[in-house]
Chains A and B, each alone.
Chain A
């Protein structure tokens, strides 16, 4: 069955100058066939009812989609809310499809018309119409307090309600990132919330979320559990199949594995790499996980000595033995990252990157050559701050330190607790650190905010006008190969100037008991329970 890739549609249409109506008709028909032949038979045979309990291992800050900064929160939010668009994965490629929208038309490069589904209501009974969509988009774009996702809609110029179910969005420039920005999961900016509930709860919306999703929020007990129940009025016929879903908040992963094996939970939202083989060997559970849209790196502070020296940075970039790192720090589960763009970014990631000559990899001779060109030829001492955080804790730092010693850099490992680590990272108070950018589906979000000159996330403090220029250009190019070329050039500059030394693209795991059926894996750290049933 053909999946509709809107990015591709966008690109082909513009490239070939096709009549847009014709293309959109084709899209509509495709959607209908999907619904008719794909979903219906599965629904008929599926069981209804059941209560799933999932061990939630990572921190959940708020269930307000427009304010959360944590993927663990998105996992829950995405079961309560819908976006204008959603992410679909067929096992090979990630695509974006209308979710609350019934259709998505492109009048020209900058004008998008969304026709909403009819009769969709929020869990509080209020209608999800064009007004609600406008309200949500404005809440992200210019709401008070400011949403951390506002930048995703900064190019949005006008919102016009054409009729109660039709909304026209006009952007100031063609916006290639749009499908990600407007989806309800990783993008967050396109998640539609109930205006009535936002008015009612104000800042406490995050404790009382009201969406249109397959599950209604019931309760959230601190450090204990988040309870959801079936939304009987959900707009996707026959879904959800579960009656209840409990996210049992557990901090200790080994306890969660024990609870899974003892049958007290039916799944885990994550599986730390050190426990993967244990879970894999357990016959009662299925491990889901593929390499997702992420990359890990050792970052260098380019604002001050010693790493304001480009040759020293290059030396570090070539001195890391990636094979050893993958084995020691990532338990052999990750793949080597040559550049930031990662496998799920279809059309941008080069599956042959290892042999393409692009990016960074381990070459000690080359590293020593660069080291010989560095300004400081004596032994260099550098503060490497590490913390028990992220997917592999302090393991990277411990593995990297001896590699740096080989090129005459003595890493002074400083172990600090996570809150301090975050503060020092943001303040640029370090020489070396390791970090990961995760759950990205578009090259723009994986490169530009992270390395834009003066950007808030640009922790190494690196700056390159040429890089900025390439990324800015690429934002308005809709043709995928052309856009990819621009990002590849930008990456090449980044890799050559080496504010970071690339390490890995990681798999992100979910675990579900074999009793659980119908889970659809999406490589964006999502745990959608829409189609899940439990036997």
Chain B
């Protein structure tokens, strides 16, 4: 078990290295020059050359990458070119917690709404309930999140004035304030997941409910809710955990749009603006951070299987 975990960690480091090389090369291959963006439209050729030298952008690419890597692993993430922000503080202390909060609330919301809806449509299979849930699920998966976000803002924020339409309040400072500010963004980001979880729960549960042991449980005279929520639902844990792990990438992707629409200062916004501004250091930090997150979650998912399914426990 320990050996397996260690192997996974080593794999992870290798994956992260590949990811950082790939993102660095892609960004350097793309046209666009951070210095030209920094200087705006009013600058002289001398100012341009001086800045290029100052930022070390006249060095060979390999040197630039190795410099970055050396500093990065020793905890010196550097300073962003344009804003002169400390990248570690910006990326890790400020931006990442916002995205994690958004992702956690969205996942929570997806599970809390998705599972019961899925159970409902499985139990009431082929009824209006089921059809309704199916329509909801289909719409949810098909709806683009940026549009949904703007729609929610207009209806709940502007028309009814129920929820704030922007801003981030750290829930660890003010939990209810944080929740209140997070409701619309979390709903926007999680709609896709709610829909996916509804369909997953329904499909799994329909299959499970046809199993002999369910019939046996019913025959033993166990109450209907116990049969569904205890015997049936236990089987959903595995696919659910798998899908959360696999879909984390989609979630982080969706966070970019959601963060922009709701003006949340998260990692998604950070990476997009850094790519547009050719802030190499910030992009690298962001990519490595999210890749680590992705890999760690999948590692956690792998490690969680034996706990969820006794058959997978090593003997």
Give A contacts to B, CB under 8 Å.
Answer: 61-62, 68-70, 145-151, 203-204, 206-207, 220-224, 248-252, 254-255, 258-259, 261-265, 417-420, 422-424, 426, 449, 456-457
Contacts and interface: CB of A to CB of B under 8 A. Distances in A.
Contacts of B266: 223
A381 B42 CA distance: 31
Task: For chain B, give the interface size range.
Answer: 35 or more
Contacts of B261: 252, 255
Contacts of A264: 157, 164-167
Contact of A420 (B30, B50, B54, B94): B30
A62 B164 contact: no
A254 to B, nearest CB: 6
B206 interface: no
Contacts of A70: 40
A261 B158 contact: yes
B31 A457 contact: no
A525 to B, nearest CB: 14
B174 interface: no
B45 A252 contact: no
B274 to A, nearest CB: 10
A258 B50 contact: no
B50 A248 contact: no
Given A146-B46, A148-B40, A419 B277 contact: yes
Given A222-B90, A252-B260, A262 B165 contact: yes
Given A62-B82, A248-B166, A419-B37, A262 B158 contact: yes
Contacts of A250: 166, 263
Given A222-B83, A224-B168, A258-B154, A145 B47 contact: yes
Contacts of B46: 146
B250 interface: no
Contacts of B277: 419
A149 B42 CA distance: 7
Interface centre among B41, B47, B270 (most CB of A within 10 A): B41
Given A223-B265, A223-B269, A252-B263, A68 B44 contact: no
A522 to B, nearest CB: 20
A221 B95 CA distance: 10
B107 to A, nearest CB: 23
Interface string B29-55: 011110011111111111100110010
B131 interface: no
Nearest to A203: B84
Given A69-B39, A423-B36, A223 B165 contact: no
Contacts of A146: 44, 46-47, 50
A262 B266 CA distance: 23
Contacts of B262: 255
Contact of A222 (B32, B45, B94): B94
Contacts of B36: 419, 422-423, 426
A145 B157 contact: no
